[in-house]
């Protein structure tokens, strides 16, 4: 399982991001542990990456990803009213360690991954820090283009251009500036490494 802990760097309200993350259907819903901190659990790497990308775009959060077992209390799980505060397991501790690593050191590290195979986790951390920089530097206009794209589908440029009232060439230039194609190519590697690290299960 994948436990994500996000701590805000500012006094901004965490509620908007909290709602967006719970729309991704986490295995354990995201909840605020403190005024500046939220935590939840996913079962799949794709959802982990979506959370990472949302937080990177926001630029106001440190992101800790812990890969390991998470145990859900039987009664709370049956009632569907569980949060990580009622859970236990190595994944929670690893996520806590990861977010503290993300908060320390210079330059600001932004994201960290912790797992039993810490060597592989550090390799993934390095890659995700590069991707964080790619995502965080995008402009509002570039994000408008990206938000209309479906990864892996060809021939979308004209439709996106029409929806935004710009030319197809402007769409292509925005994607090139945003390193969109490079990010998409890198996602498959992130997914594979997350799967390789994952040996935890949610158990009653």
pLDDT value, residue 108? 65
pLDDT value, residue 112? 94
For the segment 19-32, the average pLDDT, to the nearest whole number, is: 89
Cα separation values, 138 from 57, 101, 175, Å: 8, 25, 10
β-sheet bridge partners, residue 113: 65
- Alpha carbon distance 131, 166 (integer Å): 27
β-sheet bridge partners, residue 37: 7, 34
pLDDT value, residue 83? 82
Q: What does the pLDDT look like over 175-187, one tens digit per residue?
A: 999 999 999 999 9
For the segment 12-19, the average pLDDT, to the nearest whole number, is: 79
- Alpha carbon distance 2, 94 (integer Å): 10
Instruction: Check pLDDT > 90 for residue 41.
Output: yes
Q: What does the pLDDT look like over 78-92, one tens digit per residue?
A: 566 678 887 888 999
pLDDT more than 70, % of the chain:
90
pTM here is 0.86
Q: Could you give the 3-state DSSP secondary structure of residue 169?
A: helix
Lowest mean pLDDT among 47-51, 66-70, 92-96, 102-106: 102-106
Beta strands in the chain (DSSP E): 2-8, 28-34, 37-42, 61-67, 70-71, 111-114, 202-203
Higher pLDDT, 56 or 81: 56
pLDDT value, residue 202? 39
Instruction: Check pLDDT > 70 for residue 77.
Output: no
Q: What does the pLDDT look like over 99-155, one tens digit per residue?
A: 999 988 666 679 999 999 999 999 999 999 999 999 999 999 999 999 898 777 777
For the segment 44-58, the average pLDDT, to the nearest whole number, is: 93
Provide the terminal-to-terminal Cα distance of the chain, rounded to the nearest Å: 14
């Amino acid at each position: 399982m994948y436990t994500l802990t996000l701590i805000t760097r500012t006094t901004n309200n965490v509620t908007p991001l909290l709602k967006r993350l719970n729309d991704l259907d986490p295995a354990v819903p995201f909840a605020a542990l403190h005024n500046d901190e939220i935590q939840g659990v996913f079962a799949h790497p794709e959802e982990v990456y979506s959370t990472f990308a949302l937080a990177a775009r926001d630029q106001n959060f440190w992101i800790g990803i812990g890969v390991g077992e998470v145990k859900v209390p039987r009664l709370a799980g049956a009632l569907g009213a569980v949060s990580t505060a009622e859970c236990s397991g190595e994944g929670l501790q690893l996520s806590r360690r990861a977010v503290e690593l993300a908060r320390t050191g210079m330059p600001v590290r932004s994201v960290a991954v912790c797992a039993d195979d810490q060597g592989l986790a550090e390799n993934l951390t390095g890659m995700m820090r590069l991707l964080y920089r790619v995502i965080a530097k995008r402009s509002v206009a570039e994000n408008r283009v990206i938000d209309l794209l479906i990864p892996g589908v060809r021939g979308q440029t004209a439709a996106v251009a029409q929806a935004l009232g710009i030319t197809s060439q402007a769409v292509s230039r925005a994607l090139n500036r945003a390193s969109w194609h490079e990010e998409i190519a890198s996602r498959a590697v992130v997914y594979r490494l997350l799967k390789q690290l994952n040996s935890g299960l949610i158990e009653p």
